[in-house]
Amino acid sequence: MNSFDMDRCDKAIIDSLQRDGKLTNQELATRVNLSPAPCLRRVKRLEKEGVIKGYTCLVNRVALGAHLLAFVQVSLNRHTIDATELFNEFVERCEQVIECYSTSGEYDYLLKVVAHDMVEMEDFLLHELMAMNVISTANTNFVLGERKHTTVIPDLRRKK
């Protein structure tokens, strides 16, 4: 995505849609003080430029039986293209891994993993993750409680 200048209206549109993606164009236009046609043009431009990547539904994981949440720090035992590709393919096909980040520091990756219970988590860790011949270490941190969870990204660009 190329960086392009956003004005106050663009920023207001992004903020409003991050907080409520179900807004109609009319409701959005009212919130950002635009008429509907220019508002829709701006939304389409933000989508085309890749600022708005898509729209989604946020779901309560516990309502779907994912009672356990953990962050798993993973180190590979070798840093070859083959090992990295094997690990990335595993992450892509594993539904329990809901987020994966390549990181700097002591570990190579940080996984966000969900499971129904401890038995399911143990099965994932021992029989799926650690069964891969490219993993040297997996350090698991279980989430005891959620203090903040948001998908709203603030505009952190510096003023020119």
pLDDT on residue 159? 58
Q: Which of 118, 117, 112 is nearest to 66 (CA)?
A: 117
* Mean pLDDT estimate for the chain: 94
Q: Assign 154 to helix, strand or coil.
A: coil
Angle (CA) 66 72 78, round 5°:
140
pTM of the model: 0.86
- Confidence grade of residue 28 (pLDDT, cut at 50, 70, 90): very high
Q: Does pLDDT of 131 surpass 70? A: yes
31 part of a folded domain: yes
Cα dihedral across residues 18, 22, 25, 31: positive or negative: negative
% the chain with pLDDT above 70: 96
Same domain for 65 and 136: yes
pLDDT on residue 73? 99
158 part of a folded domain: no
Same domain for 97 and 30: no
152 part of a folded domain: no
The domain containing residue 26 runs over which residues? 8-48
CA distances from residue 18 to 11, 15, 109, 153 in whole angstroms, order as listed: 11, 5, 27, 8
pLDDT on residue 5? 83
Compute φ and ψ for 123, nearest 5 degrees. -60, -45
Q: How far apart are CA 36 and CA 83, in angstroms?
A: 51
- Confidence grade of residue 3 (pLDDT, cut at 50, 70, 90): low
Same domain for 66 and 34: no
- Confidence grade of residue 156 (pLDDT, cut at 50, 70, 90): confident
115 part of a folded domain: yes
Q: How far apart are CA 41 and CA 35, in angstroms?
A: 10
Q: Does pLDDT of 95 surpass 60? A: yes
Q: Does pLDDT of 160 surpass 50? A: no
Same domain for 100 and 40: no
Residue 47 region by backbone torsions, left for phi larger than 0, else alpha for psi between -120 and 50, else beta: alpha
* Mean pLDDT, residues 42-60: 95
